[in-house]
Amino acid sequence: MWLDQTVDLLRDGYVFTARARRERSSAAAAQRPRYAVTVRLLGRPATVVGGADGVRLFYDSTRMRREGAMPQAIARPLFGRGAVHGLDGEEHRTRKRMFVDALMDRERVDELLELADGLMVEALQEWRRRGGGVVYPTATEVYGRAVIRWAGIEVPPEVEARRADDLAVIVDGFATPVMPYVAAWRRRVVCDRWAAALVRETRSGRRAAPEGSVLARVAAQRGTDGELLDVHTAGVELLNVLRPTVAVARFAAFGAVALAEAPEWRRRLADEVAERGSAVGGPLATAFAHEVRRVYPFVPALAAVATRDTEFERCPIPAGRRVLLDVMATNHDPQEWPEPSTFEPERFLGTGAEWSAPFVPQGGGRPESGHRCPGELVAVGLLALTCARLAELDGRLVRGQDLGWSWGRIPALPRSGVVIAVDAQPS
């Protein structure tokens, strides 16, 4: 227990906590080992929590804080310096309001989804002309272009594509030594400079940002002291909208795999697009997107620090102890999810399960009052429309490609990016 396990975490990735939990549990509890194990990371003990009760504890701001929870070596390249993710109390509430106002307004999100859908249709028409394409890079570019335009950033198309790629490289490399991590940092520096310049130009009036756009909001955002955020921090928060939107492309790749493995759902989603005359917001596609987020790996765990002595599953957690919410295990907890390993979108059809405590692909609790992701409408909407359009496309997986992923590499992605062949249609 007192040997540091940081190297094991780097090696085991998604299965690190599962392994630790299994090793510490009795044979009788092997089917559902308790969550509460204490591991040692970066020279400090950390206690794992999970399941609905673990989620409630983790999101109780009277018992947990975020400051100092995430190692800077990970938080800095991924989120940027001074990002909302590491704030607490009034400072967090003030900053978070901007994200909630910008990202949880359904009408505005629908504008983004329609924009992305138009670009996706164009991209898939190009696939039809060429006889196929690769899901991950296509979705990366489509989401990147859409969110940059929607955020009120007017730049040439080649800049849109380059920034989408930069942001994808940040997400790909932030947790993987050595070259991917170096590449992630390089792109972080480039993107930070770009975003800070956008904020500076907007504030000086040299750049027009449409009212209510994300760019206008971050440029006008003030801290708890009433002063405008410094340009670097405002730029970081602009990227905290653009980067995760591009990252939805990783779920899109998994969604394409899930579609290929569920022909019945492919038909249902294609029929839904035909019946509704739209790929945006279909209930079946939305349920499918939720199940993709539940089943496939993305965020392995989240970190907080206990602010006072507490306990979980009768395991004492002293003040100052790092606490890890096991996201993957919670989304697969057999106590919460019948047949957790089965891909079954029906479990989200009209059940409200997407707001249940043990569904935490993008965090738990409430986005308005805690750290839960404010981008779920965006992520689910993009993923749903992409799955719907891929279902309608009626392509097939190219044989011999490597659809596997490494459980040791965070974040995961099917190695081939998911290559799809489509019968070429005369233009």
- The residues of the shown chain that bind ligand HEM, judged by CB under 6 A, are 84-85, 96, 99, 103, 240-241, 244-245, 247-248, 251, 298-299, 302, 361-363, 371-375, 378-379
**Smallest gap, in angstroms, from Cβ of residue 294 to ligand HEM?**
11
- Judged by CB, which is closer to ligand HEM: 95, or 395? 95
Q: Which long-range contacts (CB under 8 A, 24 or more apart) does 116-123 make?
A: 116/142, 116/143, 116/146, 116/147, 116/382, 116/385, 117/278, 117/279, 117/280, 117/385, 117/389, 119/145, 119/146, 120/279, 120/385, 120/386, 120/389, 121/389
- Judged by CB, which is closer to ligand HEM: 370, or 395? 370
**Smallest gap, in angstroms, from Cβ of residue 58 to ligand HEM?**
8
- Judged by CB, which is closer to ligand HEM: 252, or 419? 252
- Judged by CB, which is closer to ligand HEM: 259, or 270? 259
Number of residue whose CB is nearest ligand HEM: 375
- Judged by CB, which is closer to ligand HEM: 16, or 251? 251
**Smallest gap, in angstroms, from Cβ of residue 166 to ligand HEM?**
16
**Smallest gap, in angstroms, from Cβ of residue 264 to ligand HEM?**
26
**Smallest gap, in angstroms, from Cβ of residue 273 to ligand HEM?**
22
**Smallest gap, in angstroms, from Cβ of residue 404 to ligand HEM?**
20
**Smallest gap, in angstroms, from Cβ of residue 190 to ligand HEM?**
20
**Smallest gap, in angstroms, from Cβ of residue 239 to ligand HEM?**
10
**Smallest gap, in angstroms, from Cβ of residue 379 to ligand HEM?**
4
- Judged by CB, which is closer to ligand HEM: 372, or 415? 372
- Judged by CB, which is closer to ligand HEM: 167, or 270? 167
- Judged by CB, which is closer to ligand HEM: 375, or 417? 375
Instruction: Write the secondary structure of the chain as one string of H (helix), E (strand) and C (coil).
Output: CCCCCHHHHHHHHHHHHHHHHHHHCCHHHCCCCCCCCEEEECCEEEEEECHHHHHHHHCCCCCEECCCCCCHHHHHHHHCCCCHHHCCHHHHHHHHHHHHHHHCCHHHHHHHHHHHHHHHHHHHHHHHHHCEEEHHHHHHHHHHHHHHHHCCCCCCHHHHHHHHHHHHHHHHHCCCCCHHHHHHHHHHHHHHHHHHHHHHHHHHCCCCCCCCCHHHHHHHCECCCCCECCHHHHHHHHHHHHHHHHHHHHHHHHHHHHHHHCHHHHHHHHHHHHHHCCCCCCHHHHHHHHHHHHHCCCCCEEEEEECCCEEECCEEECCCCEEEEEHHHHHCCCCCCCCCCCCCHHHHCCCCHHHCCCCCECECCCCCCCCCCCCHHHHHHHHHHHHHHHHHHCCEECCCCCCCCCCCCCCCCCCCCCEEECCCCCC
* Cβ atoms within 10 Å, residue 173: 23
**Smallest gap, in angstroms, from Cβ of residue 278 to ligand HEM?**
21
Contact 236, 318 (CB under 8 A): no
- Judged by CB, which is closer to ligand HEM: 145, or 270? 145
- Judged by CB, which is closer to ligand HEM: 202, or 240? 240
